[in-house]
């Protein structure tokens, strides 16, 4: 099946008992066993380990990413934590993209370093820098592309080749582009991580995460952590995400079209000093973005004259753009990463990777692009 068909029908079958077209929400803690000898005959025993509704979602996202199987988690951060736990032990080393979600940075530097895990935040846009960062104890490479919030791209095929040559698993956070626009496993990655909270849900209704594995062996390691830590996605969240993903391609296309119009408007505005959107020819990695993905996504950022103070005035003056930390929803959101999503990243590290105090991040929604542009225009007048 092609992508649009799979996002609707993949992994889903009519309920065998009633014929319901939507999978039921199996809101049950435990599952009755026929006998001791037939324990797990129906595949389920306890919802921390596996749940029928959650399994439908796991099959769906595995199909969409082209992976062997998937494990679903309560949040995107619990999905990243599961990958860390599955592949890193005390004394191991992990390479992470130097620009990544602030929660990833916090988990690595504030939690895992306490247990003797070492991290290098490398410029993964340069495969040579990744190769140079590898040590004898490197056990995982985690890249985020496009990166949050600067949208820096990693050449996934090139980094996967570096990782494969050393026998190191390469995990990719594919939250920003989703499998509709970017297919990391086809480019050589071993694992794909999602915050399903974002585009896969698309409606600001849930928090969740998923890890798709390329092989049975990798999936077994991640699923073991899912069960051992009790971090599985809830059945109702899985059910809601299954409904949200049915319109993923339509939402992504419309949101990306809106984002390009808004980026072009901002690029032409006299008060805007910098605009970064992968669909603009001025984007430093525009050619890689075209080659690696089938779409540019709906995330962009900009800076204005007057720096931080002017940027804050803009964010406090918009009416249609909601000031909030999420992204990927049907509603357009504006975020100040330094204050919000990346507040826990050390100031010197933010400066090093280009997360400036005046950076304004936009997650473009499904509203009429002209309304969104008019709202930005009146806010820019107040800057």
Q: Do 190 and 329 fall into the same domain?
A: no
Q: Do 52 and 104 fall into the same domain?
A: yes
Kindly report the number of other CB atoms within 10 A of residue 132's CB atom: 12
Mean pLDDT of all residues in 196-205: 98
Q: Do 18 and 41 fall into the same domain?
A: yes
171 SS3 class? strand
Kindly report the number of other CB atoms within 10 A of residue 49's CB atom: 15
pLDDT exceeds cutoff 80 at 285:
yes
Residue 304 structural domain? 247-382
Looking at residue 368, its pLDDT comes to 98
pLDDT exceeds cutoff 80 at 325:
yes
pTM: 0.95
Q: Do 162 and 309 fall into the same domain?
A: no
Q: Do 269 and 369 fall into the same domain?
A: yes
Number of structural domains found in the chain: 2
Q: What is the length of the chain?
A: 383
Looking at residue 190, its pLDDT comes to 98
CB burial class (10 A; 0-12, 13-18, 19+) of residue 109? middle
Q: Do 200 and 257 fall into the same domain?
A: no
More reliable by pLDDT, 311 or 297: 297
Residue 201: pLDDT band with limits 50, 70, 90: very high
Q: Do 180 and 258 fall into the same domain?
A: no
Domain boundary among the residues 223, 246, 269 is at: 246
Q: Do 117 and 149 fall into the same domain?
A: yes
Distances (CA, A) of 301 to 31, 60, 334, 354: 48, 31, 9, 12
pLDDT digits (tens, 9 = 90+) for 128-187: 999 999 999 999 999 999 999 999 999 999 999 999 999 999 999 999 999 999 999 999
Query: Known catalytic residues?
Result: 48, 101, 173, 198
Q: Do 207 and 287 fall into the same domain?
A: no
Looking at residue 288, its pLDDT comes to 98
Residue 307: pLDDT band with limits 50, 70, 90: confident
Looking at residue 2, its pLDDT comes to 96
pLDDT digits (tens, 9 = 90+) for 34-49: 999 999 999 999 999 9
Residue with tokens 């089938």: 294
H or E stretch covering 180: helix 178-181
324's CB contacts (< 8 A; 6+ apart) are 333, 334, 335
Residue 105: pLDDT band with limits 50, 70, 90: very high
Looking at residue 383, its pLDDT comes to 78
Q: Do 196 and 342 fall into the same domain?
A: no
Beta bridge partners of 73: 209, 232
Q: Do 191 and 76 fall into the same domain?
A: yes
Q: Do 207 and 259 fall into the same domain?
A: no
């Amino acid at each position: 099946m092609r992508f649009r068909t799979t996002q609707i029908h993949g992994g889903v079958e009519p309920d065998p008992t009633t014929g319901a077209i939507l999978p039921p929400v199996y809101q049950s803690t435990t599952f009755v066993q026929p006998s001791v000898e037939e324990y797990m005959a129906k595949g389920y025993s306890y919802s921390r380990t596996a749940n029928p509704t959650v399994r439908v979602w796991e099959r769906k996202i595995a199909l969409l990413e082209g992976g062997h199987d998937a494990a679903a988690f309560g949040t995107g951060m619990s999905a990243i934590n599961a990958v860390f736990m599955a592949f890193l032990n005390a004394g191991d080393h992990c390479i992470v993209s130097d620009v990544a979600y602030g929660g990833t940075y916090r988990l690595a530097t504030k939690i895992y370093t306490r247990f003797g895990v070492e991290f290098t935040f490398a410029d993964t846009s340069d495969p040579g820098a990744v190769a140079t960062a590898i040590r004898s104890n490197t056990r995982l490479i985690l890249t985020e592309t496009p990166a949050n919030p600067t949208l820096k791209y990693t050449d996934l095929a090139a980094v996967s080749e570096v990782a494969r040559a050393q026998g190191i698993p390469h995990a990719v956070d594919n939250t920003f582009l989703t499998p509709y626009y970017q297919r990391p496993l086809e480019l050589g990655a071993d694992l794909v991580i999602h915050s399903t909270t974002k585009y896969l849900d698309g409606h600001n209704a849930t928090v969740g995460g998923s890890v798709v594995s390329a092989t049975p062996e990798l999936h077994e390691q991640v699923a073991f952590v899912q069960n051992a830590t009790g971090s599985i996605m809830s059945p109702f969240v899985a059910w809601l995400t299954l409904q949200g993903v049915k319109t993923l391609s339509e939402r992504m296309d419309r949101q990306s079209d809106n984002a390009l119009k808004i980026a072009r408007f901002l690029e032409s505005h006299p008060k805007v000093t910098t605009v970064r959107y992968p669909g603009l020819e001025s984007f430093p990695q525009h050619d890689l973005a075209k080659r690696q993905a089938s779409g540019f996504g709906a995330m962009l950022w900009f800076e204005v004259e007057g720096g931080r103070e002017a940027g804050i005035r803009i964010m406090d003056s918009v009416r249609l753009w909601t000031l909030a930390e999420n992204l990927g929803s049907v509603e357009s959101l504006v975020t100040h990463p330094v204050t919000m999503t990346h507040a826990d990243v050390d100031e010197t590290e933010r400066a090093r990777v280009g997360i400036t105090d005046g950076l304004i991040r936009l997650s473009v929604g499904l509203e009429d692009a002209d309304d969104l542009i008019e709202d930005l225009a009146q806010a820019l007048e107040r800057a």
